[in-house]
Structure formats: C-alpha cells, structure tokens
Amino acid sequence: MTKKVGLILGPILFLLVQQMALFSLSNEAIIVLALATWMICWWITEAVSISVTALLPLVVFPLSGIMSVNAVGANYGSSIVFLFFGGFVLALALEKVNLHRRIALTIIHKTGTTPNRVILGFMLATGFMSMWISNTASTVVMLPIALSVIQLLVQSDQEFTPSEQRFSLSVMLGIAFSANAGGIATVIGTPPNSVLIGLLENEYNIQISFLKWMVIGLPFSITLIGLIYLLFIKVLFPNQGIVFKTTQDVIEQQLASLGPLKSNEKQVLVVFSLMVFFWVFRTLINSLIPTLELTDTIISVGGAIALFAIPSDFRRQQFVLEWKDTQRLAWGILILFGGGLALAKGMAQTGIVASITQVISNADFNVVLTISLLITLMLFMTELMSNVALVAVLAPVMAGIALGLEIPILYLLIPVTMASSCAFMLPMATPPNAIVFASGYVKVSQMARAGILINLLAIFLLIVLYRFVIPLVF
C-alpha cells in the first residue's frame, strides 16, 4: 500500500509544489524543488527502485529548460562515479576469490577465545572489511562464522543461559553496527561519502583525497566501534561466567578449510595493496613526479582494469575477474550518484542554495546548536530512508546553510554525511541491521534499546569532530 500511494503521490506533489510561490524563487528553482519533492517521496516509499528515481533529472531538467540533456548527463559520468566503480570492482574480486573471508577469519583468530575477545574479533573483522567492500557483503561473510561460534554455546540442554544470550546479542549487533561504522573510514566504504566528494568537486572545486578522508574517517570509525564494544561488554550485554574453549577450534577449522593462499588470492591481494598504497601516498607521488597528475579515480579505475587483465590461468585464458562477474556489481548505486549530483547542480544553478544562504545569514542562529540539530536530524532520518538518497538531496541544502552561518562548508558537510551512516536503531535502517535481525537472535526492542544509545553516542562524537578535529585537518 505504501508503494502504491507513493507512486501516485510523487507526481502529484511535483505538480502541487510548482503552483506555490516560495521565497520569491524563480520558476526554474521551483521546478527543481518540485522534482526534489517527487524524488524524496519515491525514495522514502520505494515506489520504484531508488536508482530509477535518480534518473528523473535526466528527463525533467531538459524538458523544463533548466539544463541541456548533455549537461545533466555529465553528472552521471562524473569522475566520482568511476572512483566508486573501481571500488566496487575491487570488492567483487575480494569476494570472488574468498580473500575477504580469509582476512576476517585471520583477524578473529588473532584476537583470542574469551567471550569478550571473540566479540572484539568479530567487530574488528567486520569493520575492516566494511572499509573496502559493501556493509551488506561484510555482514553476509561474518554471519555464518558467528552462527557457528554461537551454536557452540548450546550444550545438551539446547538452551541459552542469560549470559549466553547477552553474548549472542553482542556478537550479532556488533557485526551489524561495525559494518555500518566501518564504511565511514574510507571514500569507497559507503556511498554517501562519495556523493559528498562529488558534490564538493563539481560545485565548489574542493577536492578531498582518499588519504585526507581517512585522516578524519578512520579515527572516527575506530573510536565509534571501540565505544560500541565497551558499551556492549560493560553496560548493555555483560557476559560474565561464560567459558568456552572450542571457539578457536572452529575458527582454525574454517581457516584450514580455505587451504593455503591460492594464486588468484595472491594476485587480488597485490592489486588491493597497490591500490591502497597509491591512494594513501598519491599526494607525495604527485609532488615527486608533478607531470603524473595521479588522482584517486585513476588509481581506482586502473586497479579495476588490472583485475580484468591479470590472467589467473594464462593457458586457459582465465582472468581474475571476467565481465560476467559484474552482473553482481551495484550499478544502481552508480546511477544514484549521478542523480544526486544532477539534483545538486540544479539547486545551485537555479539559485536555491544561494537563497538558503541568504535566509540563514539574515537569521541569528547559534552555530554550534544549529549544527548539532542538523547532525541529529540527519542521523535519525537515515533510520527511515536510504542514506545515499538522503545525502544526495540534503547535502546541497547543508552547503547553503554552512555558507549562511559563515563557516567553511566542510565543517558541516563532513559530520552530517557521516551521520547518514550511523543508523543503529531499526532493522530496516540498513542491510546489516536487517540481516542480523533475520538471524533470529535479535529482537526489534533489543536493537532499538542498544541503537538509541549508540545514536546519541554518535551524535556526541560528530559534534566533537566538528568542533575540534575537522578544523585541524582542513
């Protein structure tokens, strides 16, 4: 019913908003706002695929005379789209050769066998994997391993004690929450990061390198995951009294079943390592060889090409990746990037962002309080709708607010974008939340009780990030 209502309501809202006189905006600006309303309606209700919704600017803007079809289409081919494409291809390769599973098992194996160490191992492994592959894939990899470990606790009575239930909850929620938080650490870790970087590059000629994002994102992710872990084991789900010795055996058995490192795993590991190396040291390399003009997108696409071009079996003409493997690539997210960038371009070009800037600058807002409220708004809204869609619509608006508050736009846009990935309360908020909820070990009330505390914790960390950390880096 929600989808049916949304399907009809979207175009109706589009027509209604066009009839309104809003802040003395031009007709073109009102059309852009009307289209944004239509897109938000379809994104929230998921009346059609969120990627199909992202194609609307490609039709509406040219027909309305706001931009030519070539100008709109250029947003769907932005360099940021190809940066994320390369990241997706890298993730496909890691998954195809099962290297992500080997890395995860190795991390868990190293952390130890006490209950708290097992929880920490799962959270670290999931967070690390989520930096490079989708949070959904990270969770799907970790879930069966976690189920194997949890099932070891069930002895002959086939029932969990309260401590064992708390341990199981810690493992399951730890995986979901670490998958959400881990992606914040890198540009390719979660789509909202790339949406923001594309907006900054296209509209404000501000470039944030892979390394510079990590300088902000990685400490934030590590801190958030660390605090979630402490909150679990000390406050929410303490598991005193559990002793088990067979966990390490299960992890060792699963590692042993993978066998020694295979040649195609080594090839992917080399490409993965080189891509990370060049991303991290790109600025230094460019300063040493100025004519090179290396960019994060060039590194990303170059790594992707290498994965398709490196033969895993030269005689049989088999390669690490074949084009058919891209059937599993999230093409829709790439289109969503383009739609978000096109909408942002329309908002800037028709004066909407400038109008927001003027309204905010004429009002007397407390800067810290305003930014705290915007971070809170973004974080709780992302519980109900796609974080990529949310950033695509709201990031240009937030840029106008930042200009009106007379603060650098990065000071607001970075914490607000990170907030969009901090959805911990509801199963439908993110795929990792939904996956662990479907396991049967987690109730909605348990996820909500833990999630609201972690949401508040994330808000506090983001305000600290805005006040003290971002000004040091930018």
Confidence band (pLDDT; 50, 70, 90) for 105? confident
Task: Return d(Cα 239, Cα 244) in angstroms, integer.
Answer: 12
DSSP classification of residue 311 = E
Q: Is the pLDDT of residue 156 over 50?
A: no
Position with higher pLDDT, 317 vs 372:
372
Pairing of strands 318-319, 311-313: antiparallel
Contact call for residues 187 and 210 (beta carbons, < 8 A): yes
pLDDT in tens, 215-256: 999 999 999 999 999 999 998 888 776 666 555 677 788 888
Report how far residue 196's alpha carbon sits from residue 203's, in angstroms, rounded to the nearest whole number: 11
Render 76-122 in DSSP notation, one character per residue.
HT-HHHHHHHHHHHHHHHHHHTTHHHHHHHHHHHHH-SSHHHHHHHH
Digit-coded pLDDT (tens) for 434-447: 999 888 888 889 99
What average pLDDT does the chain have?
89
Confidence label for 428 from pLDDT (cuts 50, 70 and 90): confident
Q: How far is CA 360 from CA 60, 211, 354, 364, in A?
A: 29, 33, 10, 8
Instruction: Using pLDDT thresholds of 50, 70 and 90, give the confidence band for residue 174.
Output: very high
Question: Where do the structural domains in the chain lie, given as residue ranges?
Answer: 80-328
Three-class SS of residue 319? strand
28-42, 176-190, 259-273, 381-395: segment of lowest average pLDDT: 381-395
Instruction: Write down the pLDDT at residue 245.
Output: 56
Exposure letters 110-145 (e unless 16+ CB within 10 A, then b)? ebebebbebbbbbbbbbbbbbbbbbbbbbbbbbbeb
Beta bridge partners of 311: 319
Would you tell me how many other CB atoms lie within 10 Å of the CB of residue 222? Answer: 15
Quick one: DSSP state of residue 469? I
Token representation of residue 191: 């789509």
Helix then strand count (H, E) for the chain reads 23, 2
Phi first, then psi: what are they for 311, rounded to 5°? Answer: -75, 130
pLDDT of residue 247: 57
Other CB atoms within 10 A of residue 79 CB: 16
pLDDT in the model for residue 241: 66
What's the pTM?
0.89
pLDDT reported for residue 470: 94
Both tokens of residue 239?
């598991």
pLDDT at 155 over 70: no
